[in-house]
Structure 1
């Protein structure tokens, strides 16, 4: 059985970074952020977010 990829929402990214939703949206719009658009929603894979946050300073 394949492992499922977990995606984080904007709200979950805001909680993880300890910032507001508008700030999380701004961060997610950065060119270096591993953003995935699903319709009008913004998502990021949990693993990609962990790797991005290890290598970046917000």
Structure 2
């Protein structure tokens, strides 16, 4: 079974080259594959890559 890797808001901001507040706004978009873990927001690395290939930020 393949391990699923998750990215947090800071990692999304680094990947997109934007600030943390901008990354949070992007993660709240309806088309973003967001996963809530308690109060934390995560996205699977694979879903993020697929999303970023299909969308303009």
TM-score band by shorter chain is over 0.9
Give aligned pairs, total: 57
CA RMSD of aligned residues (A): 0.2
TM-score by length of 1: 0.97
Runs of 4+ residues deviating >2 angstroms: none
| Normalised TM-score (structure 2) | 0.99
1:42 aligned partner? 41
SS in 2 for 1:57: coil
